[in-house]
């Protein structure tokens, strides 16, 4: 029975100061794994030092972490994928246990939830934003992970090859989480240490800009994945507003038989028409989404479960 092929995927942008340490950590933890560094237009010597450290170095010219993940998932062929950032903040020593759990329990994704080992590793503002976004995702989709923004994840082959990456930037982790939740994949979450960046390495994450982008991604995904609730909610608000505006008109008409505020009556009629259109749009799009979800599920089922050979003895 052959050993599973393991690929370590490291998206990088200006990580000259940390990438060698990251590669060394994963090579020590997973000696049989192939380590890929995908450079995203770095202005420093990230590519050169990563190649000298023994990693397979490739480039993605479209700027943004989501674009890099799209390229990695498309290009790399393996049985298990370990994805981390190239800044040496994630604990490479935890990787063997995560990989073993994916194979033993036939999971499609494990999220390495972060435990900050230093105050500088995980800033308070990022903790608060992560908690708010995690709670919002749970409200919208029924369940969630405690750290949806973690970049430390282990995937099965069928997750990677069935995931249509649409995001461009740091909102990619949110999209990954929603993909797993929507298809009801077997997943897990394991606490892993999270360290401060080494000297010379600078974070590319903007708390407010990327926070707003992630929030926008959640709203967009909710509109796409839950159109009946999204458009139905808008329709309900329009209908309530129309009823509130119509009550005085109805009272006046009952008393006098006249409609003195004719523009308001036109507005009420328009609002009710819009409410009905939103309702029907939600119904139609809900049918479309169901078909799309079935197609994604079939693409997911086209690949075998991770570690299935172990359970069947290679038969």
Residues 6 or more apart whose CB falls under 8 angstroms from that of 99 comprise: 4, 6, 30, 80, 82, 154
Residue numbers of the chain with a pLDDT score lower than 50? 118-121, 314-315
Look at the pTM and tell me if it is higher than 0.85: no
Q: What is the Cα–Cα distance from 239 to 219, expressed in whole angstroms? A: 22
What pLDDT sits at residue 207? Answer: 61
What pLDDT sits at residue 310? Answer: 57
What pLDDT sits at residue 231? Answer: 94
Label each residue of 47-75 as H, E or C.
HHHHHHCCCEEEECCCCCHHHHHHHHHHH
What pLDDT sits at residue 211? Answer: 67
Nearest of 73, 35, 40 to residue 55 by alpha carbon:
35
What pLDDT sits at residue 130? Answer: 72
Q: Does residue 111 contact residue 174 with C-beta atoms inside 8 Å?
A: no
Side-chain-side CA neighbours of 140 within 13 Å: the count stands at 27
Q: What is the Cα–Cα distance from 19 to 249, expressed in whole angstroms? A: 69
What pLDDT sits at residue 3? Answer: 85
Q: What is the Cα–Cα distance from 60 to 68, expressed in whole angstroms? A: 6
């Amino acid at each position: 029975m052959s050993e599973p092929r393991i690929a370590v995927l490291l998206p990088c942008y200006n990580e000259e100061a940390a990438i060698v340490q990251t590669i060394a950590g994963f090579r020590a933890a997973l000696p049989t794994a192939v380590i890929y560094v995908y450079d995203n237009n770095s202005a420093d010597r990230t590519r050169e030092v990563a190649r000298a450290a023994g990693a397979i170095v490739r480039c993605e010219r479209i700027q943004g972490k989501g674009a890099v993940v799209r390229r990695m998932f498309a290009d790399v062929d393996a049985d298990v994928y370990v994805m981390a950032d190239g800044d040496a903040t994630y604990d490479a020593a935890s990787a063997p246990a995560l990989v073993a759990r994916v194979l033993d329990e036939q999971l499609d994704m494990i999220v390495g939830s972060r435990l900050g080992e230093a105050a500088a590793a995980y800033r308070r503002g990022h903790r608060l934003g992560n908690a708010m976004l995690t709670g919002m995702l749970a409200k919208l989709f029924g369940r969630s992970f405690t750290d949806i923004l973690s970049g430390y994840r282990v995937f099965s082959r069928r997750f990677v090859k069935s995931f249509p990456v649409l995001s461009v930037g740091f909102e990619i982790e949110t999209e990954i989480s929603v993909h797993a939740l929507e298809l009801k994949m077997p997943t897990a979450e394991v606490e892993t240490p999270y360290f401060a960046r080494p000297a010379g390495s600078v974070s590319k994450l903007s708390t407010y800009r990327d926070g707003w982008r992630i929030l926008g991604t959640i709203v967009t995904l909710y509109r796409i994945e839950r159109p009946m609730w999204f458009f139905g909610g808008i329709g309900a608000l329009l209908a309530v507003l129309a009823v509130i505006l119509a009550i005085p008109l109805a009272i006046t008409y009952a008393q006098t038989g006249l409609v003195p505020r004719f523009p308001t009556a036109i507005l009420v009629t328009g609002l009710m028409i819009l409410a009905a259109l939103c309702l029907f749009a939600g119904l139609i799009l809900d049918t479309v989404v169901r078909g799309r979800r079935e197609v994604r599920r079939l693409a997911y089922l086209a690949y075998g479960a991770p570690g299935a050979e172990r359970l069947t003895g290679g038969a």
